Every structure is written in structure tokens, then in C-alpha cells.
Amino acid sequence: MGEFHLVHWIAVLGVVAVSILPWGYPLSRLCRRAGKPPVVGWLAGSVGLLFLFGPIICIWWLALAKWQPPEARP
């Protein structure tokens, strides 16, 4: 196996940057509707994607968590 060059780092960071919006936004909306901090969804969609389990763990966590949606504003 060869070395991990700067080009490889740029490619990996590019994949992470491109995947933040399509994964992070829906997961953050889902977390907000569940009454949880939306930052969990953003982290799962960005940093968690490096391990390829971030979105799966976030959805699993929401499935097991007690949903506490925010109160409707009058």
C-alpha cells in the first residue's frame, strides 16, 4: 500500500463537504421534530459519514429515544 498524499486528503474532505447537505439537513430536521438537538443530525451527516455509520446510528438513536416534539406556538 502506498502513501496517503495530499490529493487523497483533498478527495476525502471533498466527499465529506459534498455529503454534508444531502445527509445533514434531513437528519437535522428529523432530530428537531423529535425534540432533540438538530446538531446531532448535522454531525451524523458529516463527520459520521467518514465511518459510514453516522446516518444509521442517528436514525437508530431516534428510533429508541423518547420523542418530545416542541410545543406548537400560538
Q: What is the pLDDT of residues 29-70, one digit of tens each?
A: 988 888 888 888 888 877 776 666 777 777 787 888 877 777
pLDDT at 41: 85
- pTM confidence score: 0.61
Give 8-31 pLDDT, tens digit per residue. 788 877 877 777 788 888 888 988
pLDDT at 74: 64
d(CA 14, CA 47): 12
Q: Of 26, 39, 36, 29, which Cα lies nearest the Cα of 69?
A: 36
pLDDT at 50: 64
